Structure 1
Amino acid sequence: MEDDDFKESQPKKMCTEHSSPDAGVSTSIEDDSLSTNEIDRQKAAIKIAKIWEDQIAPWSHYFIAKVYGTSITYGDIYSLKKNSWVTDKIMDAYLELVANREMANGIKIKHMLVTTTNNILNGEYVPARNDKNILMSTEFIIGAYHQSGSHWDLLIIEPLNGRIIFLNPMGETDFQMRTVPLRWKKFIEQLLLQFPADAAVIDKEWNLEVPTHSKQQDGSSCGIYCLMFADKYLARTSLHITPAESNQKRKSIARSLMMFEGYMEGCCPCCGYHTNPVAEPLVKCITCCKFFHKKSHCVGENVDQLNLTEFTCALDRV
């Protein structure tokens, strides 16, 4: 699906103008006939293009957007470039975006973080108190699994039907076909031990299903295929994907996530935490006018030790 599918869940406007990594490139959009949303999309596309042009980015650790609690860095956006491996932050942010879109349409769905999905499918997860209602009245649970060898798989659980959907963009192995249902059932057994009163909901027959799907044809598109599988499965459409669609989806995902840039306003671009000019010392970048915490890990030891009130951040030194 294209990023038009996320209009309802996007912020109304992006953050205030920030200088481009290439100061010589204009980011102004002057067509009065365009809507605010269309202008924001054009600004996002320009920023993405500039991020993807840089080979080594000293500012790649700077945060650029915050998507439902997941902070995205310039480096994360760079990972969406063609032939690059997608980061766990991109996987979590986009699946959370998908979940919120589905919830807006009345679908009861939950997103599991990569860390949670990994622990469950590795047989290492111990249910916590907040897991009590994880399966209650839930139609879908979605999560990305980062298997050994830096490869992404997709896990979709349908609690009401006892379905375990597992999708490996390179093709499911015999080992996965055996272990995925066993690891999920182990998790269910742990839930039963901790929350026996919920047995009527979670104690059921669970079956693994693997729908027919396309296989990736390169060594770097597994994450993109998983995110597209999530979109297509929830839309009940074919899981057929072409390389051209995969490459186009990279751009679509980047634009969708960049539309949340406004949620970084009032946050330090380096650490991602909120800045409070009344309660803590801050340092202002003289170029982009953003405020950073006056700490060595945010502005560098020189700025911190010299007691400067202004400096030029790494983003504006390139």
Structure 2
Amino acid sequence: MIFEELHSSPIGGHTGIVMKVWAANISGQVEAVVGPYKLYDSSFYSLQGTEWLSDEVIDAYLHLVIEKQQNHVHQLCAVVASSLFSGQFRCLKKMKFPIEDIWLCPVNVGAHWILVIIIMPEKTLLLIDPMGNEGSYERKILRNWRNFLKLRRCDEQTAQWQLQTLKHNQQMDSSSCGVLVLNFAEQYLLTGTISHVQTTSEAVSSARMKIACTLRCRGNAEEYCVVCSMLENDPNKSMIEMVQYTYSHSDRQSVVPLPHHVGTRKAFDDLFLSFYFLRRRSKKTSPTPAAGSRSS
């Protein structure tokens, strides 16, 4: 029944594409771009079967969930949220403090996803552990949040902050925590409760496909090269401009691959030869070291 509803939905048409991605070998190709997040074939693979969801899948789906909301909701990416609630504040000193009333914070603790929802006006943290072991994290989560506020000098009355939990169905396996965190976040923003989120094997499998189809449907990766996963070069640029761009960046030891997506094989061969002769010309015109001098 759940899968039938998915196939009849607007995103159901992407199930075939998702299945093909899952069946193919991982190549590192960009399959979707959602907001600032690139999703590779390996990202979609993490949504298959009993795989653990990757950071970029968590971040990209929450980005889409928040886009639907008219309320002021802020998303802390998985890396930042995990650093904050583990007490690693060094990388957060220059972080611009969000002004939104609600923050969604996916936190990874020991290869397990939990969710922290911050409600700023109420000075409340909502802690949700899919396994139902919120008590194992309560003190650490609240302590690190108060310490973070003191560090940023954002709230002088940190003692007023409290932590609460929400009633929910518990995770029934060892791999669906990421899927449930996304479902909990989405359902909370829609209804303010998460008690109706199903955690059965069928529900989780359906949710995995729904997340994959949603990301594939909403994420446009057409402008990205299928080989190097970078944005395609501007078609208005001449071949020599592309060579000079690649050459100038290679001198800075930047990892900028040759723009192999310029069209035909002959175009690539011409580009490679142009790059080769530019290198030779540079070596010939470079000054010769004075006699007796030593290179460093």
TM-score (ref. length: structure 2): 0.72
* Aligned counterpart in structure 1 of residue 193 of structure 2, from 232, 237, 240: 237
* Aligned counterpart in structure 2 of residue 139 of structure 1, from 89, 97, 101: 101
Matched, 1:121 2:55: no
SS state at 2:103 partner: strand
Alpha-carbon distance, 1:167 to partner = 0.9
* Distance (whole Å) between structure 2 residues aligned to residue 230 and residue 58 of structure 1: 29
Matched, 1:100 2:75: no
In 2 relative to 1, CA 229–173 (structure 1 residues): closer, same or farther, beyond 3 Å? closer
**Rg bigger for which structure?**
2
- Residues 59-109 of structure 1: CA deviation (Å, up to 9, x unaligned): 2x111110011000111111111211111110000111111111xx2x001
SS state at 1:229 partner: helix
Match of 2:20 in 1: 50
Aligned residues of 2:105 and 2:116 also touching (Cα < 8 A): yes
Alpha-carbon distance, 1:249 to partner = 0.9
Matched, 1:249 2:216: no
* Distance (whole Å) between structure 1 residues aligned to residue 120 and residue 205 of structure 2: 33
Structure 2 unmatched runs, 5+: 3-7, 246-255, 273-296
Letter in 1 for 2:140: T
* Distance (whole Å) between structure 2 residues aligned to residue 53 and residue 110 of structure 1: 35
Letter in 1 for 2:30: F
* Aligned counterpart in structure 2 of residue 170 of structure 1, from 104, 128, 131: 131
Aligned residues of 1:233 and 1:239 also touching (Cα < 8 A): no
* Distance (whole Å) between structure 1 residues aligned to residue 171 and residue 118 of structure 2: 23
In 2 relative to 1, CA 211–268 (structure 1 residues): closer, same or farther, beyond 3 Å? same
Letter in 2 for 1:139: D
Structure 1 unmatched runs, 5+: 3-33, 193-197, 283-291, 311-318
* Distance (whole Å) between structure 2 residues aligned to residue 199 and residue 156 of structure 1: 18
Aligned residues of 1:164 and 1:209 also touching (Cα < 8 A): yes
In 2 relative to 1, CA 52–120 (structure 1 residues): closer, same or farther, beyond 3 Å? same
Match of 1:268 in 2: 225
- Number of corresponding residues: 241
Match of 2:242 in 1: 280
* Distance (whole Å) between structure 1 residues aligned to residue 142 and residue 57 of structure 2: 26
* Distance (whole Å) between structure 1 residues aligned to residue 187 and residue 26 of structure 2: 36
Letter in 2 for 1:143: C
Matched, 1:71 2:38: yes
Letter in 1 for 2:84: I
Alpha-carbon distance, 1:52 to partner = 2.3
In 2 relative to 1, CA 50–265 (structure 1 residues): closer, same or farther, beyond 3 Å? closer
Match of 1:183 in 2: 144
Alpha-carbon distance, 1:270 to partner = 4.4
* Distance (whole Å) between structure 2 residues aligned to residue 273 and residue 86 of structure 1: 23
Alpha-carbon distance, 1:130 to partner = 4.2
Aligned residues of 2:170 and 2:199 also touching (Cα < 8 A): no
In 2 relative to 1, CA 271–163 (structure 1 residues): closer, same or farther, beyond 3 Å? farther
In 2 relative to 1, CA 153–204 (structure 1 residues): closer, same or farther, beyond 3 Å? same
Match of 1:314 in 2: none
The higher-RCO structure (CA 8 Å, 6+ apart) is 1
Letter in 1 for 2:82: N
Aligned residues of 2:134 and 2:165 also touching (Cα < 8 A): no
* Distance (whole Å) between structure 2 residues aligned to residue 230 and residue 49 of structure 1: 26
Aligned residues of 1:162 and 1:204 also touching (Cα < 8 A): no
- Residues 92-147 of structure 1: CA deviation (Å, up to 9, x unaligned): 00111111111xx2x0010001111011011002334442x41x3x2210021111
Between Structure 1 and Structure 2, which shows a larger proportion of helix residues? 2
Match of 1:207 in 2: 162
Letter in 1 for 2:74: K
SS state at 2:149 partner: helix
* Distance (whole Å) between structure 2 residues aligned to residue 231 and residue 173 of structure 1: 19
* Distance (whole Å) between structure 2 residues aligned to residue 91 and residue 270 of structure 1: 25
In 2 relative to 1, CA 270–154 (structure 1 residues): closer, same or farther, beyond 3 Å? farther
Aligned residues of 1:112 and 1:142 also touching (Cα < 8 A): yes
Aligned residues of 2:146 and 2:159 also touching (Cα < 8 A): no
Letter in 2 for 1:280: M
